[in-house]
Amino acid sequence: MKKMLFSLACGLILLSGCNQPAAEKAAGDGCCGISKDSMQIVMNIPMKIKPESLSAYLAAFEKCRQGTLQEPGVIEYETFRSLTDSTELFLFERWKDTPSHKAHMETPHFKQYKEETTGMRDTTFSKKTVVTYVCPAVNP
């Protein structure tokens, strides 16, 4: 019982450090008063590629990945295949902050990737992208 109470008390102490004024919450700021723009951004982007385009898509992604890994704000930038469907891919991106991700979208290697992969996605696939903001003060 003492261990459970101690764990509960520790959890409450940690959570109490994340209180923020209502004005900050309304403005979209995150935990501990840090704006979302300065938080890490983690993205999981599911997609399905047309079977006849899969090898060309993977080659274009790899070229983009090589350039992306040289960018100062990137932490992770990978693609994973589904175990049950080789044409179902999951792009996984983790960035230092939102401005780093926005800068990535303007790089020549990303623009080339977008151009090279136009029309390769299966548009009937409907899984949603998941974007998560990570508060560095809480998750160092």
> What burial class does residue 109 get, using C-beta atoms within 10 Å of its C-beta: 0-12 exposed, 13-18 middle, 19+ buried?
middle
The reported pTM is 0.74
pLDDT of residue 35: 84
Express each pLDDT in 116-139 by its tens digit.
999 999 999 999 999 999 987 777
Q: ∠140-81-103 over CA atoms, to 5°?
A: 50
The tokens describing 70, both together, are 């040289």
What does the pLDDT look like over 17-49, one tens digit per residue?
444 443 344 344 555 567 888 899 999 999 999
At 32 the pLDDT is 56
Residue 92 has pLDDT above 70, yes or no: yes
Q: What share of the chain is helix, strand, coil (3-state, %, to 5)?
A: 45, 25, 35
Question: Please, what is the average pLDDT of the chain?
Answer: 83
Residues 6+ apart with CB under 8 A from 99: 37, 73
What's residue 124's pLDDT? Answer: 94
Dump pLDDT digits (tens) for 45-60.
Answer: 999 999 999 999 999 9
